[in-house]
A = this chain, B = another copy of it.
């Protein structure tokens, strides 16, 4: 089942989360945008539609989703957390010019890292920063 085909209320219930209106709308954000939003991105997008929405609710909900393994936190920013639909471990690239964050297919085999022998691994984060193709040759791209 692909992310876009998932029924959000069902998906929440399956993960032990009561499907409130705010929670549905917040998770739907990730279904509709394949980006890596900050708390504020989500808050500002939903506010016109849900004028009573509190930023605290966005924080609480995202923390809950992370705890229930629906979302991952991305700390590629220096100061602000971003969130991403939880899926097979992958990496993230941030272009330091345009600021966009991309997903990367990275297969980092923990068993290949000498110092980790016997360690219990809970999380794996791979962040790469640089300049994306478009920002290197602004004119060469249509």
Name A's B-contacting residues (CB within 8 A): 73, 75-76, 78, 81, 91, 93, 96, 102-106, 108, 110, 113-116, 118-133, 136
Contacts and interface: CB of A to CB of B under 8 A. Distances in A.
Contacts of A116: 93, 104, 128
Nearest to A91: B113
Given A120-B136, A130-B119, A130-B121, A106 B96 contact: no
A123 B95 CA distance: 11
Contacts of A73: 78
A128 B123 contact: yes
Contacts of A127: 123-127
25 contacts: A75-B75, A75-B78, A78-B81, A93-B115, A93-B119, A96-B122, A103-B115, A104-B113, A104-B115, A104-B116, A106-B108, A106-B113, A116-B128, A118-B136, A119-B130, A119-B131, A119-B132, A120-B131, A121-B129, A123-B128, A124-B128, A124-B129, A125-B128, A126-B126, A127-B127
Contact of A125 (B102, B115, B126, B131): B126
Contacts of A118: 133, 136
